[in-house]
């Protein structure tokens, strides 16, 4: 396997071990790359670098490092992942797994029994410790779901294992407040900046009254949700179709 470690391409069998690998003390970002262009790269690095400052790791990743990584790792279309720990800045690449079939069928979400803790700083950082997410996602997929929805101990909707969630009701776009216990995603923030989105506490008991739902992250963009637990959403909501068209237009602008 080839990685870009501290600016040098290496065929890696083992790496320097630090607290990132002992304790998950570090952060990561996953950036969509299209035609060699890192999408929303400034927003990703702003979140990463501010997060590193928050946890006391004296490192900063630049746009130039990302562009160099794309060239050296030949990542022209796919996902570029950046992991930063005390001693390491590791860039790796992989393909994206979302297909037209995924978007056509939408996402079915299991409601997790594992509760988010909004008092923990980890829920607001893209931490290298994603064990809750990984274990719950694995279990959900084994049961036939695509993803898992987390709530907090007050019954407030938070996020899925890999995405932010939005609801549609009475012509309004609604998304949980960050303070409920969730990571503020890059695509989530773009939607909030470019549309009239209501950020508020959403109780799990409100889900049956919602008219539509969709999830977002940097690799999938926007994807409809067809099921949350016992709640089923029918068809493609017109608002989601409009938002998706705007997102596709924004992607094309990056490539222009």
What is the distance between the terminal CA atoms of the chain, rounded to a whole angstrom? 32
- pLDDT score, position 201: 98
Cα separation, 74 vs 125, whole angstroms: 28
Q: What residues of the chain score a pLDDT lower than 50?
A: none
Hey, is 43 helix, strand or coil?
A: helix
Per-residue pLDDT tens for 171-198?
Answer: 999 999 999 999 999 999 999 999 999 9
- 2-10 contacts, C-beta under 8 A, 24 or more apart: 2/73, 3/90, 3/91, 3/92, 4/68, 4/69, 4/72, 4/73, 4/90, 4/91, 4/92, 5/88, 5/89, 5/90, 5/91, 6/88, 6/89, 7/65, 7/68, 7/89, 9/72, 9/73
* Neighbouring residues of 111: CB distance < 8 A, sequence distance ≥ 6: 148, 149, 151, 204, 228, 229
For CATH 3.20.10.10, the residue range(s) in the chain are 100-255
Strand locations in 86-134 (E): 89-94, 107-111
What distance lies between CA 246 and its chain's CA centroid?
19
Cα separation, 147 vs 125, whole angstroms: 20
- pLDDT score, position 13: 62
Q: Compute φ and ψ for 164, nearest 5 degrees.
A: -85, 160
Per-residue pLDDT tens for 91-133?
Answer: 999 999 899 999 999 999 999 999 999 999 999 999 999 999 9
Beta-bridge partners for 231:
228
Cα separation, 175 vs 192, whole angstroms: 9
Q: Which CATH number fits domain 2-94: 3.30.470.10, 3.40.228.10, 3.30.2310.20, 3.30.450.30?
A: 3.30.470.10
Cα separation, 91 vs 7, whole angstroms: 9
* Token couple for 162: 């890999």
**Range 100-255 has CATH code 3.30.428.10:** no
- pLDDT score, position 235: 87
For CATH 3.30.470.10, the residue range(s) in the chain are 2-94
């Amino acid at each position: 396997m080839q990685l870009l470690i501290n600016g040098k391409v290496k065929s890696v069998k083992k790496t320097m071990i630090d607290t990132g690998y002992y304790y998950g003390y570090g952060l990561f970002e996953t950036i969509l790359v299209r035609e060699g262009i890192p999408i929303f790269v400034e927003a990703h690095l702003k979140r990463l670098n501010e997060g590193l400052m928050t946890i006391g790791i004296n490192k900063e990743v630049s746009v130039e490092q990302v562009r160099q990584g794309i060239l050296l790792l030949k990542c022209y279309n796919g996902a570029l992942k950046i992991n930063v720990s005390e001693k390491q800045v590791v860039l790796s690449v992989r393909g994206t797994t979302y297909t037209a079939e995924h978007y056509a069928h939408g996402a079915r979400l299991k409601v997790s029994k594992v509760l988010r803790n909004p008092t923990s700083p980890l829920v607001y950082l893209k931490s290298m410790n994603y064990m809750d997410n990984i274990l719950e996602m694995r279990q959900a997929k084994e049961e036939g779901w695509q993803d898992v929805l987390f709530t907090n101990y007050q019954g407030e909707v938070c996020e899925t294992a890999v995405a932010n969630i939005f609801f549609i009701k009475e012509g309004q776009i609604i998304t949980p407040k960050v303070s409920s216990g969730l990571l503020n995603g890059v695509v989530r923030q773009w939607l909030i900046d470019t549309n009239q989105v209501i950020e508020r506490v959403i109780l799990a008991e409100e889900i049956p009254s919602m008219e539509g739902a969709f999830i977002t992250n940097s690799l999938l963009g926007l994807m409809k949700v067809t099921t949350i637990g016992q709640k089923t959403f029918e068809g493609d909501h017109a608002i989601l179709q409009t938002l998706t068209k705007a997102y596709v237009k924004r992607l094309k602008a990056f490539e222009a």
